[in-house]
């Protein structure tokens, strides 16, 4: 059974009644239960539901642009009125976009419930051009704040939630820690977030993890900026950036410099959501597996979570990073998908009962 960590008894009772999946035994797929195997196989095993997006480019205060992919769910039977149709903002991982299988599955789950979704693609990675020499990072929440304000302004009467995966979850937590209760979001769901960047990087630099994940992710980061080389060369030694062989080297030469941090440690300190968890002011459910090499179990801030009545952690012993595969042939729904579906439905349809239970 997952470990449910929450200091608020009413929040616990709410989850047990309306999101019972967090108390059910999670049975990982027996032939790929180990965390690294789950992490590696999920993108290849899980299906990719068909989703028709409507793209929107919005301008930012600094002259940049952000690509949003909307799933309007115009045929929603439960919420035919678009002005009040519940909306879920989805934040993919480090180099992820609206095309990731885990995002497509979240949209599929939302579609069955009648909700609208919008995917926040970070600058420069979803095919659009960079208009300024700036990309994104886990610590800087300006773009996310602009997107949340924009979506809310379009549908001010619609209930509004957000869900973030991996770095998207870190970004969302850092935003919530900064804004407290001053946000149009009514709740948030976080999946496989890296809580302490120092510990995450140390784990990913172990020899086998470097071979399986670190080097590949570094090349993905380099690939995501190489097509914008002409724009970025105005500020960076791109030859040096492209020589990076670890995420730490990439962040030292590129990310921390781009966002004005004096040192890499200053950036990693600011990017770690564990520092801001105590300030979160809306109900948040966070799912992690303790065998996730991207977010080691010992770095999950259990004691800090117990000090905030708005926070609930769900910790499984297996599942890896955005894995959570279950069943003999885990093509479709994962444990993570079921947690997402039950939690957003619980909040949209019964959220007002949290404080009365």
What pLDDT, in 10s, does the model give residues 215-269? 999 999 999 999 999 999 989 999 999 999 999 999 999 999 999 999 999 999 9
Q: Which of 143, 270, 292, 337 is catalytic?
A: 292
Q: Is 195 within 8 Å of 301 (Cβ atoms)? A: yes
Same domain, 265 and 337: no
Ranges of the chain whose pLDDT falls below 50: none
Q: Which of 98, 101, 166, 192 is catalytic?
A: 166
Which of 137, 147, 71 is CA-nearest to residue 108?
71
For position 201, what pLDDT does the model report? 98
Q: Which of 105, 108, 228, 321 is catalytic?
A: 321
Same domain, 183 and 238: no
Helix residue spans in 180-243 (DSSP H):
197-204, 207-209, 215-226, 229-232, 238-241
Report if residue 338 sits inside a domain. yes
Among residues 252, 271, 290, the one where a domain terminates is 271
Same domain, 181 and 316: yes
Give catalytic status of residue 292 as yes or no.
yes
Total domains in the fold of the chain: 2
Give catalytic status of residue 67 as yes or no.
no
Same domain, 254 and 314: no
For position 357, what pLDDT does the model report? 63
- The terminus-to-terminus CA distance of the chain in angstroms comes to 24
Report if residue 239 sits inside a domain. yes
Give the pair of three-digit tokens for residue 99: 């095309």
Among residues 248, 271, 294, the one where a domain terminates is 271
For position 37, what pLDDT does the model report? 95
Same domain, 255 and 284: no
Give catalytic status of residue 356 as yes or no.
no
Same domain, 171 and 290: yes
Among residues 271, 295, 313, the one where a domain terminates is 271
- CATH code for the domain of 182: 3.40.50.1820
Report if residue 357 sits inside a domain. no
pTM of the model: 0.97
Full domain range(s) for residue 174: 3-196+273-352
């Amino acid at each position: 059974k997952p470990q449910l960590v929450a200091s608020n008894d009413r929040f616990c009772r709410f989850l047990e009644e309306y999101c019972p999946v967090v108390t059910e035994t999670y049975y990982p797929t027996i032939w790929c239960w180990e965390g690294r195997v789950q992490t590696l196989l999920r993108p290849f095993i899980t299906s990719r539901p068909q989703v028709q997006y409507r793209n929107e480019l919005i301008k930012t205060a600094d002259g940049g642009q952000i690509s949003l992919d909307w799933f309007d769910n115009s045929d929603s039977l439960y919420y035919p009125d678009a002005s009040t149709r519940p909306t879920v903002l989805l934040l993919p991982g480090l180099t992820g976009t609206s095309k990731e299988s885990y995002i497509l599955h979240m949209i599929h789950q939302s579609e069955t419930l009648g909700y609208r979704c919008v995917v926040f693609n970070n600058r420069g990675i979803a095919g659009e051009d960079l208009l300024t020499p700036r990309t994104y990072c886990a610590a800087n929440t300006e773009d996310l704040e602009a997107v949340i304000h924009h979506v809310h302004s379009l549908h001010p009467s619609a209930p509004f939630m957000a869900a973030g995966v991996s770095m998207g979850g870190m970004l969302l937590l850092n935003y919530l820690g900064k804004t407290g209760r001053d946000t149009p979001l009514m709740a948030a769901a976080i999946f496989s977030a890296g809580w302490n960047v120092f510990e995450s990087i140390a784990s990913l630099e172990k020899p086998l993890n470097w071979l399986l994940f670190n080097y590949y992710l570094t090349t993905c980061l380099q690939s995501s900026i190489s097509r914008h080389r002409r724009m970025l060369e105005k500020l960076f030694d791109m030859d040096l950036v492209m020589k990076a062989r670890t995420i730490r080297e990439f962040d030292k030469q590129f990310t921390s410099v781009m966002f004005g941090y004096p040192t890499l440690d200053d950036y990693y300190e600011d990017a770690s959501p564990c520092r801001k968890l105590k300030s979160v002011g809306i109900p948040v459910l966070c799912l992690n597996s303790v065998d996730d090499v991207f977010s080691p179990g010992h770095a999950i801030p259990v004691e800090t979570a117990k000090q905030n009545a708005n926070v609930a952690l769900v910790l499984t012993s297996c599942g890896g990073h955005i894995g959570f595969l279950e069943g003999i042939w885990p093509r479709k729904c994962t444990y993570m998908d079921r947690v997402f579906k039950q939690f957003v439905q619980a909040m949209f349809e019964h959220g007002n009962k949290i404080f009365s239970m």
